[in-house]
Chains A and B, each alone.
Chain A
Amino acid sequence: KAGVTQTPRYLIKTRGQQVTLSCSPISGHRSVSWYQQTPGQGLQFLFEYFSETQRNKGNFPGRFSGRQFSNSRSEMNVSTLELGDSALYLCASADTAGVFGELFFGEGSRLTVL
């Protein structure tokens, strides 16, 4: 079956702009979680959605937000971009809520902020 799909794969924005990233989970999976990966901080948890509800949220400012649709596809939005938001953004899907089970990751969206 198809894996986790993230779009776009690459994008370049300038400071102050906003960006929306999309994640389509594996068919049948209702949990989508988002992560930011940078060389300095490594992988950090952003938030998790299950059945259209945000269940958990990491320690990120309110500029980072997300949502999940009824078909389990999820989007994350970053407003008022800063240089430090340049990162690889990964999403993962799972068939259970929370971070209890095996996670299946997409290939990521690489965001560059100039």
Chain B
Amino acid sequence: KQEVTQIPAALSVPEGENLVLNCSFTDSAIYNLQWFRQDPGKGLTSLLLIQSSQREQTSGRLNASLDKSSGRSTLYIAASQPGDSATYLCAVANQAGTALIFGKGTTLSVSS
């Protein structure tokens, strides 16, 4: 059974710092991995989607990497800003595309 773990559960950093969020999964037979952002009481916003054949994806100050063999993904946020404060979730899709398993998220707080 696929399990997705995100460490740390919470992170506080000063504005301007570069940071890394971690996501690990137990079954490497995945179709893709997505990173989402969730603001308090809101829905999820897709940030980056990495197919299983890809190593990384970039969007603006965000870079996500995928190492399928070791069951790990990282989300790198450059030059963090207070507006980046949110909960970040990763989710893996199984190869059949029938299940999406989420981690419990990392809650990020960026102080000005």
Known contacts being A42-B103, A42-B104, A55-B98, is A100 close to B44, with CB within 8 Å?
no
Q: Do A108 and B97 touch (CB < 8 A)?
A: no
Q: Is the interface of B mostly helix, strand, loop or mixed?
A: strand
A 85-114 binary contact with B (CB < 8 Å = 1; else 0): 000101010000111111111111010000
A106 to B45, CA, bound (A): 9
Given A90-B43, A108-B43, the answer on whether A100 and B97 have CB atoms closer than 8 Å is yes
- Across the interface, name the chain A residue whose C-beta is closest to B101: A45
* A71: Cβ under 8 A from any B Cβ: no
Q: Is B99 close to A, CB under 8 A?
A: yes
Question: Is A80 an interface position by the 8 A CB rule?
Answer: no
Residues of A within 8 A of B94 (CB): 99
- A43 contacts which chain B residues (CB < 8 A)? 89, 91, 102
CB-based contact B97/A98 at 8 Å = yes
Given contacts A42-B104, A42-B105, A98-B97, contact A103 B34 (CB under 8 A): yes
Q: In the complex, are the beta carbons of B43 and A99 less than 8 A apart?
A: no
Closest Cβ of chain B to A17, distance in Å, is 23
A104 to chain B: closest CB distance in Å? 7
The answer on a CB contact under 8 Å between A107 and B46 is no
- Tell me whether A103 and B46 are in contact (CB under 8 A): yes
Chain A CB within 10 Å — which of B34, B43, B101 has the most? B43
Q: Which residues of B contact A92 (CB under 8 A)?
A: 44
20 A-B residue pairs with Cβ-Cβ distance under 8 Å, sorted by A, are: A6-B43, A42-B102, A44-B102, A45-B99, A56-B98, A56-B99, A97-B97, A99-B93, A99-B94, A99-B100, A100-B31, A100-B93, A100-B97, A102-B49, A103-B44, A105-B36, A105-B43, A107-B43, A108-B41, A110-B41
**Chain A interface residues toward B at CB < 8 A:** 4, 6, 33, 42-45, 55-56, 58, 88, 90, 92, 97-108, 110
The 5 closest A-B pairs by CB, nearest first: A98-B97, A105-B43, A43-B102, A99-B100, A42-B104
Q: Which residues of B contact A (CB under 8 A)?
A: 31-32, 34, 36, 41-46, 49, 89, 91, 93-94, 96-105
